[in-house]
Amino acid sequence: MDTRVKQAFDLAAWSATRLAQVESALSEWVVAHAPAGLGQAMRYAVLDGGKRLRPLLALAAAEAVHGNEAAAMRAACAAELIHAYSLVHDDMPCMDNDVLRRGKPTVHVKFGQAQALLAGDALQALAFEILTPDDASVPLGMQARLCGLLARAAGHEGMAGGQAIDLASVGLALSEPELRAMHCRKTGALLKGSVMMGAACGEPGSVARDALAAYGAAMGLAFQVVDDILDVTADSATLGKTAGKDAAQDKPTYVSLLGLPRSQAYARELLDEALAALDRSQLADTTSLAALARMVVIREN
Amino acid sequence: MDTRVKQAFDLAAWSATRLAQVESALSEWVVAHAPAGLGQAMRYAVLDGGKRLRPLLALAAAEAVHGNEAAAMRAACAAELIHAYSLVHDDMPCMDNDVLRRGKPTVHVKFGQAQALLAGDALQALAFEILTPDDASVPLGMQARLCGLLARAAGHEGMAGGQAIDLASVGLALSEPELRAMHCRKTGALLKGSVMMGAACGEPGSVARDALAAYGAAMGLAFQVVDDILDVTADSATLGKTAGKDAAQDKPTYVSLLGLPRSQAYARELLDEALAALDRSQLADTTSLAALARMVVIREN
C-alpha cells in the first residue's frame, strides 16, 4: 500500500475541516466596519484566497501538543494576517509593483496606494489584537508568548529583515549561506513561527519544542526552495502567479545558484530533515505535520 | 506664588531625567544590526528627534499607579515606536508626500520608499517585541495586557482607522462629531493608549483606571485641537514643521470648523476635563500627568 496516497487523502479531509474554520474565523475577525473603506480593503486582502499554509501549520502543531483550541485558532489567523499584510505591502509600486494576485487586482490597484499602506499596517496590528482577547478564552501567559513569537517572526530578525535582504540582493551573486539566510528570514521565519505558535498553545517539553523548531526551520526553507523550483518548472496557470519572475527580476534563487537537479535534491533532503525532527519529537501524533511537509515539497516539482 | 511656574519647572526636571532614559532605551532596542540597511533606516526614524510625549505619558501614568518600572519603560518605548512608524508611512509619497521632518530628510527620501515601507513595518513589529521580553522582568500577564492595549490603539479602531478617515475627508465639510471621531482615533487613541499602558504597569482600581482613561481621552483630543490652532497661529520655525499645511491641503480642522477663539476655548475646556479626571482618580500623586496635560495645551497658543 502506498502510504503517501493514504496520507495525502487524510490531509485533504483534515485540511478541509480546518480551512472552513479558519475562513469563518478570519471573516469574523477582519471586520468590515473599520472606517472609511479601510475595513473593505482589509477584508479584500485577507478573504477568499490563499492556501492558508500558516494557519494549517499552527493548527497541526497545536493538535500535536494537545494545545488550547481557542488559542490555536487565534494563532493560526494572526499568522495569516501577518502574511496577508506582507503581500499587500510587497505588491505596492515601490516594492514589486504587482497588479494581480490570485487572479484579482492587488489591493493598491483596487483601493489606491494610501489605503493599501494603511490596510497592511492595520492588519499587522489586528494580528496582535486577535492574540489578546479580552475574554478568558486564552490564558494571559499564553497570549504573551504568542505575541512574542509572532513579533519576532514578523520583524527585523524575521520576515521584514528578509525582505530588506531581498531588496538589497537584486542582481547580486549571493553565496548559498547568504541565500539561505535571506530565505530563512523572508518566508521561513513566519512558517517556523506558525509552527512554534501552535506549539505554544500547549505545554510541550523541551525535546518536543526543539524538534518542532527543527521541523519548522527545515520545512520553511524547503518551501522557498520549492518556490524557486516552481518558478522555473511550472507555468503561470498552475502557479497562480507569474512564472519565471525571479529570473526576469534578476533575483538570486536556489535554481540559479545550484541548478535544477541539485535544488530538487535539496528540497527532498529538507523534507527528510523535517520528518526526522518529527520522529524524535516524542509526540504521539504528528501525522498532520508530516503530511503538510510532504505537501509543501511534493507540490508540482 | 504662581503654581504654574513651579509645576512647569518641576516638569522640566522630571522630563529631563526620563527623556534621557527613554533615549537610551530606544537606542538599545532599535538595533543597528538589522540586515541590509534596515537597522539604519529604523534608527534614523526613531532616534534624535521628537518630543517623546507618548513615552512621558506612559511613564507618568505608571508612576501614578506605582507600576513596574521595567514594564513602564518598555510600554513607553513601544508606544513611541508605533508613533515613529506612523510618521514614516505618513510621509511617503502615496500619503502626505513630505520630504522634511524635524529639519531632516524623511526616511523615504534618505533610504528609498521600499526601505521606508519595510522600516515602518519592522518598527511596528518591534514595538510588540519590546513588550514581550524573554527574561522575567515583566510578568507575562502584564505583557499580554500591554500588547492588547497597544494593538487596539494602533489598529483599525485607533490610529490606522483615524488615518483612513483623514484620507477620506480631504475637501469635505465634516461636522464637529465627525471631526472629533477622526481625531480621537488618529492621534487620540495612541496618546490615550500610552496613558493606559502606563496604568497597566500597575494595578489601579477601577475608579483610578476609569479616571485615567478619561484623562487620556481629553488630553488626546486637546493635543489635536491645539495642533490645529498652532497650524494657524505659529510659524514654521516654532512649529518644527510646515505651518498652514492643513488649510493648504484643504483638510478639515477645529479652526476651520469652530474658528480660532472657540477652538482655543475648547482646548482649555478639554484641559479642565483632563485635570478634573485626575482629581477624581483617588491616586496620591498625579502631578506629572497634570503638568503634561498643561504642557500639551499651553504650548504656544
| A142-182 residue pLDDT tens | 999 999 999 999 999 999 999 999 999 988 888 999 999 99
Residue A146: left (phi > 0), alpha (psi -120 to 50), or beta?
alpha
User: Over the stretch A13-24, which tens digit does the pLDDT of each residue have?
Assistant: 999 999 999 999
B61-78 confidence digits (pLDDT tens): 999 999 999 999 999 999
Mean pLDDT, rounded, for B140-148: 98
Q: Write out chain A residues lying below 8 Å of B124, CB-based.
A: 121, 124-125
Best of B29, B40, B113, B132 to substitute, by most chain A Cβ atoms within 10 angstroms, is B132
Determine contact: B178 vs chain A, CB below 8 A: no
Distance of CA B89 to the CA centre of its chain: 16
Quote the CA–CA distance of A262 and A176 in Å, as a whole number. 12
Q: Is the pLDDT of residue B240 over 90?
A: no
Element (H, E) at B42: helix B38-46
Q: Which pLDDT tens digit goes with each residue over B89-122?
A: 999 999 999 999 988 999 999 999 999 999 999 9
Q: Rounded mean pLDDT of A258-276?
A: 97
What CATH architecture is B3-296?
A: Orthogonal Bundle (1.10)
Strands, E assignment, chain B: 100-101, 104-105
What is the model's pLDDT at position A49?
A: 82
Say yes or no for a CB contact (<8 Å) between B125 and A155: yes
**Average pLDDT of chain A, as a whole number:** 92
Among B237, B65, B263, residue whose Cα is nearest residue B145: B65
Quick: pLDDT tens for A63-110.
999 999 999 999 999 999 999 999 999 999 999 999 999 889 999 999
3-class DSSP assignment, residue B212: helix
**Has residue B3 got a pLDDT over 50?**
no
User: Are the beta carbons of A260 and A229 closer than 8 angstroms?
Assistant: yes
Report the chain A residue with the minimal C-alpha distance to residue B170. A36
How many Cβ contacts (< 8 angstroms) between chains A and B? 190
Which chain B residues are Cβ-neighbours of A147 within 8 angstroms?
128, 131-132, 143-144, 147
pLDDT tier at A297, thresholds 50, 70, 90 = very high
Q: Is the pLDDT score of B1 beyond 70?
A: no
Q: Which CATH architecture has domain A3-297?
A: Orthogonal Bundle (1.10)
Answer whether B2 touches A (CB < 8 Å): no
Residue B164 contacts A, CB cutoff 8 Å: yes
Compute the average pLDDT of residues A187-213.
98
Q: What pLDDT sits at residue A279? A: 97
Within 13 Å of residue B238, how many CA atoms lie on the same side as its CB?
Answer: 12
Residue that is written with C-alpha cell 510578568 in the block:
B139
Interface test with B, best of A111, A115, A121 (most B CBs within 10 A): A121
Determine the average pLDDT of the residues in B264-278: 97
In the predicted structure, residue B301 carries a pLDDT above the cut 70 = no
Give residue A9's pLDDT.
46
pLDDT at A2 over 60: no
State what percent of residues in chain A have pLDDT above 90: 82
Query: So what's the pLDDT on residue A240?
Result: 61
Rounded CA-CA distance A271/A220 in Å is 10
Give the three cell numbers for residue B260.
480660532
A150/B128 CB distance under 8 A: yes
Residue B95 contacts A where some CB pair is shorter than 8 Å = yes
What is residue A196's predicted lDDT score, i.e. its pLDDT?
98
For residue range A226-241, what is the model confidence (pLDDT) as tens digits? 999 998 998 766 666 6
How many Cβ atoms are within 10 Å of A63's Cβ, its own excluded? 22
For residue A246, what pLDDT band results from cuts at 50, 70 and 90?
confident
Distance from CA of B37 to the nearest CA of A (A): 7
pLDDT at A301 over 50: no
- Closest by Cβ to A125, choosing from B35, B151, B162: B151
Question: Which residue from B157, B158, B167 is facing A36, i.e. has the nearest CB?
Answer: B167
Min Cα distance A123 → chain B (Å) is: 8
What is the per-residue pLDDT across B171-221, written as a single tens digit (0 to 9) for each? 888 899 999 999 999 999 999 999 999 999 999 999 999 999 999 999 999
pLDDT band at B170 (very low <50, low <70, confident <90, very high): confident
CB contact under 8 A, A117 and B148: no
Of the candidates B210, B288, B290, B225, the one whose C-alpha atom is nearest the C-alpha of residue B262 is: B225
Identify the pLDDT of residue B237. 61
Closest Cα in chain A, distance from residue B97 (Å): 11
Q: In the predicted model, what is the mean pLDDT of chain B?
A: 92
| pLDDT for position B236 | 61
SS3 letters across A241-279: CCCCHHHHCCCCCHHHHHCHHHHHHHHHHHHHHHHHHHH
Domains in chain A: boundaries: 3-297
